[in-house]
């Protein structure tokens, strides 16, 4: 695009009642889980103490009673959270999940009885107290759910609670068709950040304006850490949908397309906060909070142990590099990480050159730039050990797509449409591609396409067990020295 008088000013986004909420909806699941835990623990104490006193027995020891209550709370919350019971906005719907609560508590009671039998705790916790606990708890859980729903409804209506993890992007016609209750039905809150696309009728001018607005949205998402985009677009407007998909693929967020006004009219849709709204997922979200926490804990433990175990090798390698050739021991190069954020990656220097600019030449077999010590380090993958520091710093993970030089990233993104999805997770020291032999240089588009295929499969199928498998397979790949030069 040439710069001149014809350059259009970006259309400003329109927002109403957005981001003025005092509390974020992200705290709602934690609040509900804590409320249920408090109810179960109190029910344990009330049931046991009430039974003991009514039966004429002395005041019981509260320690085993509280222990049983905490165990019951943990089991109940774990089972309910697995069914999305605490998810927002589902938890804001006014109807109390009567059957779900009773069924979950019944199975929780059976598990508690099984644990009591296996651990032989009947001496410290009488059967009468346990039965009283099992009857009191569901009453408290149902009452607490009704009360919390009323509090959430009041907070949403007053604008005290808002959604800061979500943005709404749509064309003017679709957004104007929303009624006030639609915002509660779709988003669980009337306080949602909105970005309104262009009013232009000319296709070229509209695409330019839309790109500017989507760029503003991308900046907002990166700044505020939003996790989801909802799209209010006409289903018949394929060009606009494809334009939006092309822009947001660099963002590690979920994207869902809502039913447009025509689809809602065909299905006799009526705005209601009581109904579940079906949307189409056009971009999958990366790892959720729990998965990221598990992966991070594994990274810290694994990198810490590896650094301790490999410390003698690291010291010997550093001395050998210093004695072999002039230059620094550690080679630093900028790479793109999670959400395309740049970081400085560390490696042992294995070449006589240090490239980190617009032109970075990939290493080839028998490359004359590789030093004598560097060739040994590269063949054994010892040159990658300093990246354990990147893992501890949080720039990288033990397992993930291998990061490429910035110059290569820019080039590959123009060749492969799905390349940008690799930035939806943290880059790794090793990955699914590497342990399947797709490592080393990428001299052709087929080589990088194969690597991207493996990386995307890993992102879409991540599990803790898969990471453990990759670590074990990587050890064999290091011994095989396949494509290591």
Q: 249, 283, 317 — which closes off a domain?
A: 283
299 and 274 in one domain? no
Distances (CA, A) of 72 to 85, 108, 221, 422: 17, 7, 39, 41
Do 60 and 177 sit in the same domain of this protein?
no
In a domain, 95, yes or no: yes
Looking at the domain assignment, is residue 3 inside a domain? no
Confidence check: pLDDT of 358 > 70: no
Whether 256 and 396 map to the same domain: the answer is: no
Same domain, 359 and 461: yes
CA-to-CA distance for 166 and 184, rounded, in angstroms? 13
Number of domains making up the chain: 3
**Within this chain, do residues 63 and 39 fall inside the same structural domain, yes or no?**
yes
Tell me what pLDDT residue 461 has. 85
**pLDDT of res. 366:** 65
pLDDT digits (tens, 9 = 90+) for 61-73: 788 888 888 989 9
124 and 44 housed in the same domain: yes
Q: Which of 138, 158, 178 represents a domain boundary (last residue)? A: 158
Residue 11 forms part of a structural domain: no
Residue 187 included in any domain: yes
Decide if 347 is inside a domain. yes
The answer to whether 319 and 408 are in contact (CB under 8 A) is: no
Tens of pLDDT, residues 295-352: 999 999 999 999 999 999 999 999 999 998 888 999 998 898 887 788 999 999 988 8
What is the model's pTM?
Answer: 0.60
Q: Are 85 and 97 in contact (CB under 8 A)?
A: yes
Q: Is the pLDDT of residue 7 over 60?
A: no
**Residue appearing with tokens 């804001």:** 92
Domain membership of residue 13 (yes or no) is: no
> Would 126 be classed as within a structural domain?
yes
With CA atoms as reference, report the closest residue to 277 among 286, 264, 288, 289: 264
Same domain? For 111 and 184 the reply is no
Q: Which residues contact 264 (CB under 8 A, 6 or more apart)?
A: none
CATH of the domain at 251: 3.40.50
If DSSP codes are grouped into helix, strand and coil, which group holds residue 416? coil
CA distance linking residue 47 with residue 50, whole number of Å: 5
pLDDT of residue 367: 73
> What percentage of the chain has pLDDT greater than the value 90?
25
Instruction: Give the pLDDT confidence of 234-279 residue by residue, as tens digits.
Output: 998 898 999 998 888 878 888 889 888 887 777 655 544 444 567 7
Tally of CB atoms within 10 A around 188: 24
The answer to whether 33 and 27 are in contact (CB under 8 A) is no
272 and 401, same structural domain? no
* Residue 246 included in any domain: yes
CB 11 within 8 A of CB 198: yes
Residues contacting residue 90 through CB under 8 Å, at least 6 positions apart: 84, 188, 276
Domain that holds residue 151: 25-158
198/136 same-domain check:
no
End-to-end CA distance of the chain: 42
Question: In terms of domains, do 253 and 372 share one?
Answer: no
- Domain endpoint, select from 158, 192, 213: 158
Same domain, 153 and 183: no
**Which class for 236: exposed (0-12), middle (13-18), buried (19 or more C-beta within 10 A)?**
exposed
185 with 254, same domain: the answer is yes
The Cα–Cα gap between 436 and 426 comes to: 19
């Amino acid at each position: 695009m040439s710069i001149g008088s014809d350059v259009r000013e970006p259309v400003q986004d329109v927002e109403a009642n957005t981001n003025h909420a005092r509390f974020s909806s992200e705290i709602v699941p934690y609040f509900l889980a804590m409320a249920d835990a408090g109810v179960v623990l109190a029910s344990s104490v009330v049931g046991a103490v009430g039974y003991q006193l009514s039966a004429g027995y002395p005041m019981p020891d509260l320690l085993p009673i509280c222990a049983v209550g905490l165990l019951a709370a943990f089991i109940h919350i774990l089972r309910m959270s697995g069914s999305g019971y605490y998810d927002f906005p589902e938890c804001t719907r006014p109807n109390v999940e009567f059957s779900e609560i009773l069924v979950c508590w019944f199975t929780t009671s059976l598990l508690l009885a099984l644990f009591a039998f296996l651990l032989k705790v009947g001496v410290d916790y009488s059967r009468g107290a346990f039965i009283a606990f099992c009857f009191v708890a569901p009453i408290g859980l149902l009452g607490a759910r009704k009360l919390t729903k009323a509090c959430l409804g009041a907070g949403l209506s007053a604008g005290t609670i808002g959604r800061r993890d979500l943005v709404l992007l749509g064309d003017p016609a679709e957004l104007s068709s929303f009624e006030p209750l639609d915002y509660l039905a779709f988003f669980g809150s009337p306080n949602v950040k909105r970005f309104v696309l262009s009013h232009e009728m000319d296709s070229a001018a509209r695409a330019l304006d839309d790109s500017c607005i989507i760029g503003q949205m991308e900046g907002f998402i990166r700044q505020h850490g939003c996790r989801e985009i909802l799209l209010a677009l006409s289903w018949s407007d394929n060009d606009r949908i494809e334009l939006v998909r092309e822009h947001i693929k660099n963002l590690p967020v979920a994207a869902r397309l809502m039913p447009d006004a025509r689809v809602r009219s065909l299905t006799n849709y009526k705005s209601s906060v009581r109904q579940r709204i079906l949307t189409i997922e056009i971009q999958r979200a990366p790892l959720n909070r729990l998965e990221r926490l598990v992966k991070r804990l594994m990274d810290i433990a694994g990198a810490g142990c590896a650094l301790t175990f490999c410390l003698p090798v690291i010291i010997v390698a550093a001395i050998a590099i210093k004695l072999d050739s002039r230059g620094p021991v550690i080679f630093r190069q900028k790479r793109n990480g999670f959400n395309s954020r740049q970081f400085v990656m560390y490696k042992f220097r294995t070449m006589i050159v240090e490239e980190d600019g617009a032109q970075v030449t990939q290493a080839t077999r028998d490359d004359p730039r590789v030093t004598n010590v560097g060739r040994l380090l590269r063949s054994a993958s010892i040159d990658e050990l300093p990246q354990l520091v990147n893992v501890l710093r949080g720039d990288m993970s033990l397992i993930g797509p291998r990061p490429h030089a910035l110059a290569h990233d820019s080039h590959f993104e123009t060749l492969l449409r799905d390349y940008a999805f690799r930035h939806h997770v943290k880059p790794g020291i090793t990955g699914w591609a590497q342990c399947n032999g797709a490592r080393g240089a990428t001299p052709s588009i087929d080589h990088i396409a194969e690597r991207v295929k493996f990386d995307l499969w890993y992102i879409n199928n991540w599990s803790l067990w898969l990471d453990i498998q990759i670590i074990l397979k990587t050890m064999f790949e290091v011994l095989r020295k396949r494509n290591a030069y």
